[in-house]
Amino acid sequence: MELQSNEPGIYTLILYLEKAREINVGSLGSVGFSAGYYSYTGSARGSGGLKRVDRHLQVLHGEKKTRRWHIDYLLPNTLFQELFITKTMRDVECQIARSIARKLLPMKGFGCTDCDCISHLHYSKDLQNMCETVRMAHNCQN
pLDDT of residue 142: 65
Q: d(Cα 85, Cα 80) in Å, to the nearest integer? A: 15
- Asked whether 34 and 105 are in contact (CB, 8 A), the reply is no
Of 111 and 34, more confident: 34
Say if residues 16 and 36 touch (Cβ distance below 8 Å): yes
Question: pTM for the complete prediction?
Answer: 0.92
Kindly tell me if the per-residue pLDDT of 115 is higher than 60: yes
The residue extents of the domains of the chain are: 9-139
Q: What is the pLDDT of residues 41-68, one digit of tens each?
A: 999 887 777 888 988 999 998 888 888 8
Supply the pLDDT for residue 44.
87
d(CA 128, CA 63): 29
